[in-house]
Amino acid sequence: MKTRLTALLKQSMGTLQKQGALPIDLAVNIKLEHTRDNSHGDFACNLAMVLAKPTKRNPREIAQLLIDNLDSDVNIEKVEIADPGFINFFLNPLSQHQVVSTILEKGEAFGKSKLGTGKKVQVEFVSANPTGPLHVGHGRGAAYGATVSNLLGAIGYEVHREYYVNDAGRQMDILATSVWLRYLESCDVQLVFPSNGYKGDYILSIASDIKATHGDLFCSNAQDVFENVPADEPGGGDKEQHIDALIARAKSILSDANYRLIFDAALNSILGDIRTDLEDFGVHYDDWFSERSLMDSGAITKAIDRLKASGHMYEKEGAWWFKSTDFGDEKDRVVIRDSGQTTYFASDIAYHLHTLERGYDIIDVWGADHHGYVPRVRAALQAMGADPSRLKVLLVQFAVLYKNGEKMQMSTRSGEFVTLRTLREKVGSDAARYFYVMRKAEQHMDFDLDLACSESNDNPLYYVQYAHARVCSVMKQLAEKKMSYTPSIGLENLARLTEQQELDLIDSLNRYPEKLSQAALNYEPHQLSYYLRDLANNFHSYYNSHQFLVDDAALCSARLALINACKQVLQNGLKLLGVNAPESM
């Protein structure tokens, strides 16, 4: 009906243009929305108010002209004008019933559209440094990025899901050096582990595996390792200088091949765990893009050369700086250090340029603590002649865990529920995926572990999944009672569905395509989770008020057609959220 009403308004506007009542060259985007209050009808349109400014006429006057020139339609019961100029459409209640047939016919395709046809977008999300296991903060970004990707795909976008692997740079060198030092300890070398090294148990495990495979091949004495290494912070020194010097000693003592072997052992072990965690979480990628490949292919050098050619780079104290202040950034940014090593920023510039050149618009899903990084990346793209508007950055706030009403300690790796894997083991992937997207991404999130585990109507996921399971239960009872259900008879008798709970449920079903489109275009999965909760609520109200397996075969079939349509929409929505639709609970 939304499509039909839009067509009617376009026809009316065209008639008025032919009559000279509206300018011929006037083009507007007609928007219809479901009303929040049934007393205002089923759909409302602000077209008259949009036309008021360019025509310099009263919006109520324009609204009346549009209504007077609408073609008649049996599905429209009446049309009213509401201040300051809204056009409200009241539909024949039975016209809404057609959605049941449409849902059962289209199945999984119901609600999907072609709004994004011809548009290519890359969604890059999670992309945590492979220096440790994924934690609950990464989990929220994973659920959000995966669901945004699903939503965009559902409205016709060509979506490429990518994980950007930071497999180069200083943090990875700190990781490799940390593993080597733990390996040396396994060789009975006595040393003081650096305060700025990675200390998790996973480092010990990687070092142990290297020792088991290669024996004492990489051993060295402590005196050689710490030769000319400045003091660590606990000894009155600088922890950054201390770890950097240890990295240099590791590269000096080990051959290039042996250093790379330890580096890759650490990288592959942690990245393998990350892959497993995300796969088990229902998060899949089209590509795991290597930062190292940017260096090997010359993409970083290419990007830097373009910045230099644009006149937005300068040399200072041996380092090369990008003049990001020319584009509104708070300060200029280092691209090449005085050591000659490129920065993470240089890699990010090259990565984004490379992605745009592959023909994709970009959606980056970053943690909220990276908000200051956005202007400099956009500035670099603009300086290189790329369109910065093709980059959209979505920021995700932290998730705070609560158990027994108390905030859980999340500051150390030994915290009870720090890792994503532990969270999944505690509440399950379904609950984690659903709870992570129940709030706007930019809002802080309180994750109630007890609620996520509960089997009660207070648990929003349980409430939605239970609605789906209840429909399945009704169909099992149908078979057990050896009653017949003929879908075609049900569709022929939809006019029998006149109870208020039936009309409310049908109204909810009609809203699904619009809610799906809104959630996708606004990058707001929570809109879909809210919708599913409302749909489930309408179903449960219907279930608690009426019998479905009644003796009247025509009415029975009509009601079963309705609840099966509801089941299909619940299933469709849950699938987009990455959540299962169980048949029993």
- CATH of residue 548's domain is 1.10.730.10
Let me know if residue 99 belongs to a domain: no
- Do 470 and 568 share a domain, yes or no? yes
Let me know if residue 412 belongs to a domain: yes
Structure-block tokens of residue 122? 């890359």
Let me know if residue 582 belongs to a domain: no
Let me know if residue 53 belongs to a domain: yes
- CATH of residue 340's domain is 3.40.50.620
Distance CA 164, CA 145 (A): 13
Distance CA 443, CA 446 (A): 10
Distance CA 282, CA 278 (A): 6
The Cα-based distances of 12 to 18, 30, 47, 68 in angstroms read 10, 12, 11, 8
Beta carbons of 397 and 137 less than 8 angstroms apart: no
How many other C-beta atoms are found inside a 10 Å radius of the C-beta of residue 156? Answer: 16
Q: What is the pLDDT of residues 25-75, one digit of tens each?
A: 888 888 888 888 888 898 999 999 999 988 999 999 999 999 999 998 888
Distance CA 6, CA 300 (A): 49
Distance CA 24, CA 7 (A): 18
Q: Is the dihedral of CA 556, 562, 564, 570 positive or negative?
A: negative
Distance CA 321, CA 313 (A): 5
Let me know if residue 132 belongs to a domain: yes
Q: What is the pLDDT of residues 446-487, one digit of tens each?
A: 999 999 999 999 999 999 999 999 999 999 999 999 998 999
Q: What is the per-residue pLDDT for 404? A: 87
Let me know if residue 112 belongs to a domain: no
- Do 56 and 191 share a domain, yes or no? no
- Do 431 and 491 share a domain, yes or no? no
- Do 68 and 170 share a domain, yes or no? no
For the chain, how many structural domains are there in total? Answer: 4
Is residue 561 helix, strand or coil? helix
| Pairing status of strand 32-34 against strand 43-45 | antiparallel
- Do 373 and 334 share a domain, yes or no? yes
| All residues at 6 or more sequence positions from 135 whose CB lies less than 8 Å from its CB, including other chains | 410, 418, 419, 420
Q: What is the pLDDT of residues 291-346, one digit of tens each?
A: 999 999 999 999 999 999 999 999 999 999 999 999 989 999 999 999 888 999 99
Question: In the chain, what percentage of residues exceed pLDDT 90?
Answer: 85
- Do 200 and 258 share a domain, yes or no? yes
Which single residue is written with the structure tokens 């089923």? Answer: 42
Banded pLDDT at 410 (limits 50, 70, 90): low
The parent domain of residue 506 ranges over 461-576
Distance CA 29, CA 281 (A): 40
Q: What is the per-residue pLDDT for 28? A: 85
Let me know if residue 584 belongs to a domain: no
| All residues at 6 or more sequence positions from 46 whose CB lies less than 8 Å from its CB, including other chains | 31, 85, 86
- Do 191 and 278 share a domain, yes or no? yes
Distance CA 16, CA 48 (A): 12
- Which residues, in sequence order, are bridge partners of residue 230? none
- Do 339 and 301 share a domain, yes or no? yes
- Do 252 and 353 share a domain, yes or no? no
Let me know if residue 100 belongs to a domain: no
- Do 380 and 431 share a domain, yes or no? no
75, 91, 107 - which closes a domain? 91
Radius of gyration of the chain (CA): 30
